[in-house]
Every structure is written in structure tokens, then in C-alpha cells.
Structure 1
Amino acid sequence: MPKLRGTQSAGSAKNSRLAAHKPPNLKGTKHQAQDGSNKAGSGAADAEKKAASSHQQKALSHSLQQGLLDVFGRAFAPALASPRLNEALQAVKQALFERDFAGAFGTVDDNRTDADDTAAEKKGKSVSFEIDSVIPPLDAYAARWSPTRALCYASVLASPVVQEHWNAAQESSDDQPESKAPLRMVAIGGGAAEIVAFGTLLTRGEAANDRAGDLVLVDSGPWASVVDRLRTSMVESGTDSPKAALIEPAERFNVDVRQRDILKVDDEEMGKLIGGSGEAGAVTTLITLFFTLNELFTAGGLGSAATFLLRLTAASPAGTVLLVVDSPGSYAEMAVGSQARKYPMRWLLDKFLLQDSEAWTKAHENEAIWFRLSQSLSYPIRLEDMRYQVHLYVRK
């Protein structure tokens, strides 16, 4: 099994307009950053990035990081071993570049006609196509691009600043400390990376290993099969390995997959989604938007994205924690208005969440962090480092 070989590519500007689960990097070289972050004279900035990244990654032990990569390795063993994997990956990347999400993720529009395809071709648009019949598109995607993100997201979730706010209200409300309420997370735009990242908090040796976990994944893509295999890979020991499962017993890890377009969710459904069942009322919910908000602003437009954020605010009880992770710098700029003036995503986020003094408070932010993979980790195929920004809000 080869060692990982990282890259400093953060992806091209075009890529930032792909789906929420877009590949972090379609093109790029091993040692050259495409966002200008590696320019001459930036030694001090690079040192600061490395220090921040090192501090963040201490949240996960090396053995746990390798264990998480092994989860992906087991779940997608057939795809990773297939000689047609590269072919499938190239097809997925091309489909995403053309914004042909049905083709990229293997969904089929039964109402689509030949006339629709002809019209799309005349407009220069891609049409849905069949990707490698042996390797399902989401399998190829998840095997290739989700492992790094899962490790990165897990390190963010396990970081002291997130744990402090996520657990603060829960700990103060526990009448019986020995019987802690489950951790609850609603991942909007969540899929393969989010389930493994969340499951990390329930693994052996972690602070929350005596608690159950309730995870809700909301995305328009058909992630159920992929998510089920990843969960199984975490709660069952490998058939050829004497090691125990990462999460025991399996009943502690509850996952609810909902294939929904979050921009079309109304007030009532949003309330049930965020608030959960009545008995979970005392549980502090963590809402995540991991590489999703940028796409909501781009695909849905400013109005729809703003409505979503306001609806999310209204549905969130006091103490709810909102965690946003997305592309940094120019890759997260939105064109707004007839003049197409560009605004940083973080500015728009603050505008809609903080304009009401009684809504949210911003507890933490970092506009540029590197997650760097250790060269001693191993995975069947090459993975890359990733760069991101993070923002944490707490509902008042």
C-alpha cells in the first residue's frame, strides 16, 4: 500500500462553483499552490499556517487517522482495486465541471427526453451519461476525495473550540453525568466525509466514547448506500483483521440519511430537522455546512441562500452550534447584484447571521488553515492536502 503524497493545490476558481461534494482539485501540480499562497517571501505566513495546522491535527492521533483511512479502504475495496477507477474518476470530474450532476452522481431523470439532450448540446451543456457500469459514480467519488475531507472534518469536530461550545449546554443540563445524552449533528450537504468524521467522536479512546451519536445527513444526492457501507465499516471489525471495531456497540451510532434539496425545505420541515424529536429537546445540536454554503449561494442565488439561513436561524433553539467550513480566499467570493460585485462568503455569512443582535454570536473564525496529511499514512491511491476556512456560531 503506497504512502500518501500530498499536494498544496486548493483547486481552481471554476471548481468552487461545482457541487457541494466537488473534488477539491481537478488539476494541479504536486508542489505548486494555485491560489498564490506559495509566492516568494511568504515564509512567515507559511510558518504560521503550519503551526495552526499542526495544532489542529493534534486532535487526532496518527493511529486513529490511519484507522479512518482503513474505513474507506474496506468500504470501497472493489472500486479502489478496479483498473477502471481512473476512468470513472475522470468521468465524474468532467460531469461536475459541466454541472451535469445527474451524470456525475448516477441519478436518472425519467422525464428527460431526446429533445432535452439536443437542446442542452446546442447550449454547450453536458448531457447525462453513464459512468463506468462497474464502479458507481458515488463510490468512485467517495473513495478518492472523501478520505482527506473526513480526516480534516474530524480534526475540526474534535478541536477544543468546537467541543467547548457543542458540549457546554449539554454538560450543564445533565442531571446524571454518568448517563450523557447523545451527540447530535445535522450535516447539511453531508455525505461520505461527514459520517466518518462524526463517527470519529464515538471511537475507542476518544472523549465521547461512552456516548451515543445521532447523525442526520441532508443532501440532494443519493448517498444512502455509500453511507451505509461506511457506517458498517466503522461498527464491524474487518474479516481479516484481529482488531476490534472502531465503534462498539453498533447501536451507539445512529444515522438518518435524507435526500432533500435544503433550499426547498419549508419552515415546518426545517424546525423538525434541526430540533429533532421532542425527547431530544435538551440535546445541543451541531449544524454543519462543510463545503456546502458556497454552492448554495452560487446555485440557489443570494435570495434563496439568504432565505435558507434565516429559516435555519428561526428553527434553531438557543445553544445550537453552527459550524461552517469552506474554500478559503478568492474561491469563496460571491458575485452579487447587477454589477456582479464580489463579496467574501464570510462577509455574507456574517451579514445574514449577525444582523439580528438576538440571533447568533460568532465564537470562532479562521480564514485560512491547511490540513496536511502525514507521509507515514497509507492508502491505496494518492490523496492531497486541503486548505479551508472555518466559522463557528452559537445561537443565543
Structure 2
Amino acid sequence: MGKAKAAPQVPHKAKARKAKTSKHSTYENARPDESDGTVPLELQQTCLNIFRDALRPSVEDVTVLQEIKGRLFDRDFATAFGKEEYLRVYASRWSPSRALGYLQVLINVQEYILPTQDLMRPDHSNHVPLEMVCLGGGAGAEVVTLAGWWSIVSKAMPELALQACFVDIAAWHETVEALYKHCVNAPELSQYASATAREVNMPLLSEQTFSCKFQQQDVLQWSEEAMQSVVLPTTKLVTLFFTLNELYSTSVPKAQHLLSQLTAAMSTNSLLLVVDSPGNYSTVSFDGGEKRYPMLWLLDHTLLTDTARKAGDASNIRWEKVMSDESKWFRLPPGLEYPIELENMRYQIHLYRRLAAG
């Protein structure tokens, strides 16, 4: 998380699951995702292994974890995300389960993203890369999510590559680099590994198929020029995963302005995908007032009402909402192993498509 993510949340612990804890936490009593649960178990375990190998989570991190929780509770985000050790522990603790939840999300909305003719060059002979920007994507969940998702997509569309940019306020460079390295390189094997094990030891996907970069930036302070150097006319998808409500909590006007900037920068048929805490967990007050407004109301007001009003034509709406759900669960499936405990993920999801100017 972080603050592209202006103020990261501590995920809510799922009460529906009991974990067996020994050397690894094994999720035997979990229920599948209510939506489908279509991500292969082997791929989910591979994603968890990437976090395990890249970030080395341990039960001995508990002291550091408690320090981070305290800083987050006090909303002292500069300290909570000010040390490399804090970033490693945070990402190893909360990003893995988020990554699996986001992976299911992308599978569920894939029909809106792929296949699409606008990914083809005019002569239809070669594909251009699919370009994505993940705002608030520094803590590593989105890195592994995209790698896992693209490992599925590339089997059907091997000629298509994915390019992603992760933007966050904290210095997540090393976390992103470490996770990416483990996505595109085969896992390290013991010197005693068999020849057969070595032969089948392959990376999740190749550097040619998936590339990424990280930019440290407070998006609430983003100049229009700087933002448009990241969100390009060729950008197909922009994501705000567990980020938008925190941006609203920091400054409603600045968050609304960011959405207006995205409206100006994003091209026809590009997509904006928002995933956040559901219901009462995502409400915002104006100027500290008692009345609180749902994040979704503010989001719809900006994208579906304000853009038309500012254009001077009520019929000239710049976005359409193509799918929406105010409360869903992703529950860790039985059989997964990870060195420390993880949580299920409850979330709301909203996908918008940029319309052509009227």
C-alpha cells in the first residue's frame, strides 16, 4: 500500500477462517471465492511462494509488525513506511492475500480487458503491449497479481506483452524489484535437487512477456504534466486497489481532482478499476463534518455527473460503469501454505470505461 494510497489501511481479519499454524499456516477450513474461485490452486501457491522467497516472512517479524500497526493506528504513515525493514514486513504480511484476491478480480473482469482490437497495430500483424498503471501499487500485491494473471493470458496470447507502472508515495522500489525478479526468474533450488526437478524448474513468466517499473509519487500532489507522462494515451487500464478511500480521507477535493485528471488523460475505451473496502468501511466526511458519504457516491458523482456538468452538456458523460458490486468476498482456498497467517478479503469493485468525447 502506501500513499499513492494516501493512508494505507490495516486489512480486516476474516472471521470465517481458522488456520492451522505450525511451520506453515495451512488454510484447510476456508471457503472458495463466492464469485467463482477460478484461479488454479497451483498458481495461487506459486504466487505465495514468490512472496515467501522474495521477502522472507517469519513469525519473528511480530515485533516489527506490532510497531507498524501502532504507527498505522496513529496515522503516522511517514514512520510506518519510512524504514526498509518496515516495508518488507508490511509487504510480506498483507500483500500476499491481497495479491490472490486481486488475481481473482482480474480473472472476473478479463472479458472487459481482453481480447480487444485496440491492442492491435493498424495492420493487425503485430500486437502492441497492454499498458497498465497501478496507483497505490507499491506494496507488491499488484506486481505478483499481474504476473500471475499474465501467466494465464500469455498461454492463449503468447505474442502479447504486459507493461505495468506502479505508483506510490513510499519508497517501495526494492520491494517491487525483489518481487518482480522472482516472478521472471526460476526459483532457487537446493544443490541436492534432482535433474528432473531442475528440468521442470521454470519462472512464472519471462521478462519479454511482463515488464514493470516503479515511480515514487504522492498522486494527490501530481501535476497534470507529470501524471500524463505516466498515464499515456496508450494506457489500457488504471487501477486503484484499496487506495481511493484513503485518498478521499486525506482530501476530498484533491482526490476528486485526481479523478478529473485521469478523465482528461485516459483515452476512449480505456478502463478504470476501483477495488476498496466495502460499505461502512469506505465513507468520507467533508471538512471533518459529522455526515459521512459513501466512497462510491463520491466516485460516481465525479465520473458520471461532474464530468458531464463541466463539459456543459448533461448528455456528454465521459464514463460508463460497466460492472459494479458493493460487497464481495475472496476467501483463501484450502491447501495453501505460507509461513505466517493471512486473511480473507472483503471488498467492493467498480469498473468504468472511458467514453469518446461527445
Q: Secondary structure at the match of 1:57?
A: coil
Q: Is the 8 A contact 1:105 1:221 kept in 2?
A: yes
CA separation of 1:185 and 1:163: change in aligned 2, threshold 3 A: farther
- 1:298 is aligned, of 244, 249, 268, to 249
Opposite residue 63 of structure 1, the aligned amino acid is: E
What's the secondary structure of 1:294's corresponding residue?
A: helix
Using the size of structure 1 for normalisation, the TM-score is 0.75
Q: Secondary structure at the match of 1:295?
A: helix
Q: How do 1:300-339 residues align onto structure 2 when only pairs under 5 Å count? A: 301-336=251-286, 339=289
What TM-score, normalized to structure 2? 0.82
> Separation in 2 of the partners of 1:190 and 1:328?
19
| Contact persistence 2:326–2:347 (CA under 8 A) | yes
Distance 1:333 1:210, change over 3 A: same
Q: In 2 relative to 1, CA 199–208 (structure 1 residues): closer, same or farther, beyond 3 Å? A: farther
* Residue in 2 that maps onto 1:238: 187
Question: For residues 8 and 214 of structure 2, what CA distance do their matches in structure 1 show?
Answer: 16
Which whole-Å CA distance do the structure 1 matches of 2:172 and 2:158 have between them?
26
8 Å contact from structure 1 (residues 202, 210) kept in 2: no
- Give SS of 2:151's match: coil
- SS class of match (2:64): helix
Q: Contact conserved, 1:184 with 1:215, CA < 8 A, in 2?
A: yes
CA contact (8 A) 2:271 2:351 kept: yes
1:181 is aligned to 128
**Would you say how many aligned residue pairs link Structure 1 and Structure 2?**
319
What are the ranges of 5 or more consecutive residues in structure 1 without an aligned counterpart? 1-17, 33-49, 108-134, 276-280
- Conservation of the 8 A alpha-carbon contact between 1:360 and 1:395: yes
Q: 2:324 is matched by which residue type in structure 1?
A: E
2:70 equivalent to 1:94: yes
* Kept after mapping to 1: 8 A contact 2:133/2:235: no
Match of 2:216 among 259, 264, 277: 259
AA aligned opposite 1:87: T
CA offset digits 1:241-297 (Å, max 9, x no partner): 63200012x23322111100001111112222211xxxxx5x452000000000000
Match of 2:229 in 1: 272
In the alignment, what sits opposite 2:26?
Answer: none
- Residue from 23, 26, 38 that aligns with 2:10: 23
* Counterpart among 36, 50, 68 of residue 56 in structure 1: 36
Any idea what the Cα deviations from partners look like across 1:36-86, whole Å, max 9, x if unmatched?
xxxxxxxxxxxxxx78x344321x111111110111011012xx24x5301
Q: Is 1:287–2:235 an aligned residue pair?
A: no
Query: Is residue 342 from structure 1 mapped to residue 321 from structure 2 by the alignment?
Result: no
Alignment of 1:137-152 (within 5 A): 137-152=86-101
* Deviation, structure 1 residue 340: 3.0
Residue 56 to residue 330, structure 1, CA distance change in 2 (3 Å): same
Report the CA distance between 1:168 and its aligned residue: 2.8
- Specify whether residues 155 and 31 from structure 1 end up closer, same or farther in structure 2 by C-alpha distance, changes over 3 A only: closer
Structure 1 residue aligned with 2:116, among 168, 180, 187? 168
Using CA pairs under 8 Å that are at least 6 residues apart, name the structure with larger relative contact order, 1 or 2.
2
8 Å contact kept, 1:326–1:388: yes
1:172 Cα deviation after fit: 6.4
Return the letter of the residue paired with 2:348.
Answer: Q
**Structure 1 partner of 2:161:** 212
Alignment-mate amino acid for residue 88 of structure 1: V
2-structure distance, mates of 1:166, 1:244: 26
Q: Distance in 2 between matches of 1:172 and 1:251?
A: 18
Q: Tell me, what secondary structure is at the counterpart of 2:284? A: strand
Other-structure match for 2:52: 73
Q: Which residue of 1 aligns with 2:336?
A: 377
Distance 1:84 1:264, change over 3 A: same
Displacement of 1:320 after TM fit?
A: 1.2
Kindly indicate whether the alpha-carbon contact (under 8 Å) linking 1:289 and 1:324 is maintained by their aligned counterparts in 2: yes
Share of identical aligned residues, percent? 37
| Offset at residue 158 of structure 1 (A) | 2.2
Task: Say if 2:161 and 2:209, in contact at 8 Å, map to a contact too.
Answer: yes
Code of the aligned partner of 1:197: T
Q: Is the 8 A contact 2:7 2:77 kept in 1?
A: no
After superposition, give the CA deviation of every residue in 1:375-396 in whole Å (9 maximum; x if it has no partner). Answer: 2111111111110000000000
Instruction: Specify the alignment match of 2:326 in structure 1.
Output: 367
Structure-1 separation of matches of 2:155 and 2:281? 34
User: Residues of 2 paired with 1:207 and 1:55: CA distance?
Assistant: 23
